[in-house]
């Protein structure tokens, strides 16, 4: 049915997932630091975090990808010429994951900031009054509740991130979209292969939605819901 390109599409799908999970790890780290910076009493940290989120939300993902891949490579090699280094060729996987992680770190910053603010301050104060250390308060009080509040936003960002991995194909990474494009060009049947790629993305997002729903139910155990 796929003219022998099924294995190629599967390999591209695995690479797409690798990009997505690697980018998620980067985005979560940046998002956590960004949220802490935005809530910090240190004004320069707040300014820096605000500039970061404003920049990302104002520049298209594709433009950011090209700027980091091509612009970053030019910048690194100019520095290399100055210090006598050999020519460095940026790996597309590294560039792709760093870019997507950098982009979605800005959105996750806002998700985590809102989730931290959703935890009642009185609970943190009471825990400190009972003798808990700030680390214990974070792990036992703030962390679990923050995750529960953040999960819907994290779920939405993950679903968008999975689809956004398609932009790594423009820098030569052999992901699902790249493999589908190669197969479509070789067979002159673009509808078949792009439809297959769409089906794979739909599968990824459907499984992700199921997993997040299960995790949401798990985190909601013992939480009383008040009917409005």
Name the helix (H) or strand (E) containing 145: helix 143-164
User: DSSP secondary structure string, 8-37?
Assistant: HHHHHHHHHHHHHHHHHHHHHHHHHHHHHH
pLDDT of residue 4: 86
CA–CA separation, 187 vs 180, rounded Å? Answer: 11
* Per-residue pLDDT at 19 exceeds 90: yes
* Mean pLDDT value of segment 58-77: 84
CA–CA separation, 42 vs 40, rounded Å? Answer: 5
Both tokens of 159, joined, read 């679903």
DSSP type of residue 133 = -
CA–CA separation, 92 vs 171, rounded Å? Answer: 6
**pLDDT averaged over every residue in the chain:** 88
CA–CA separation, 142 vs 32, rounded Å? Answer: 13
* Mean pLDDT value of segment 108-120: 90
* Mean pLDDT value of segment 181-195: 92
CA–CA separation, 218 vs 228, rounded Å? Answer: 23
* Confidence at 228, pLDDT banded by 50, 70, 90: very low
pLDDT of residue 18: 95
Structure-model confidence comparison of residues 25 and 137, the more confident one:
25
pTM: 0.88
Structure-model confidence comparison of residues 86 and 141, the more confident one:
141
6-219: which CATH number, 1.10.3720.10, 3.40.50.2300, 3.40.50.11540, 1.10.260.40?
A: 1.10.3720.10
């Amino acid at each position: 049915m796929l003219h022998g390109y099924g294995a190629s599409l599967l390999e591209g799908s695995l690479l797409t997932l690798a990009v997505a999970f690697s980018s998620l790890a980067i985005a979560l780290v940046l998002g956590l630091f960004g949220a802490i910076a935005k809530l910090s009493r240190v004004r320069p940290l707040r300014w820096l975090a605000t500039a970061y989120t404003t920049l990302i939300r104002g520049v298209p993902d594709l433009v950011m990808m090209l700027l980091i891949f091509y612009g970053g490579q030019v910048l690194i090699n100019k520095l290399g010429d100055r210090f006598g280094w050999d020519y460095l060729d940026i790996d597309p996987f590294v560039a792709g994951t760093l870019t997507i992680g950098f982009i979605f770190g800005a959105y996750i910053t806002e998700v985590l900031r809102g989730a931290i603010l959703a935890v009642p301050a009185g609970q943190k104060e009471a825990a400190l009054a009972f003798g808990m250390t700030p680390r214990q308060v974070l792990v036992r009080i703030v962390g679990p509740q923050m995750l529960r509040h953040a999960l819907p936003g994290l779920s939405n960002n993950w679903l968008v991130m999975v689809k956004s991995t398609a932009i790594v194909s423009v820098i030569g990474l052999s992901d699902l979209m790249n493999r589908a494009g190669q197969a479509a060009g070789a067979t002159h049947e673009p509808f078949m292969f792009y439809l297959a790629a769409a089906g794979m993305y739909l599968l990824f997002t459907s499984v992700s939605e199921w997993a997040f729903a299960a995790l949401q139910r798990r985190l909601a155990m013992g939480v009383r819901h008040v009917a409005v």
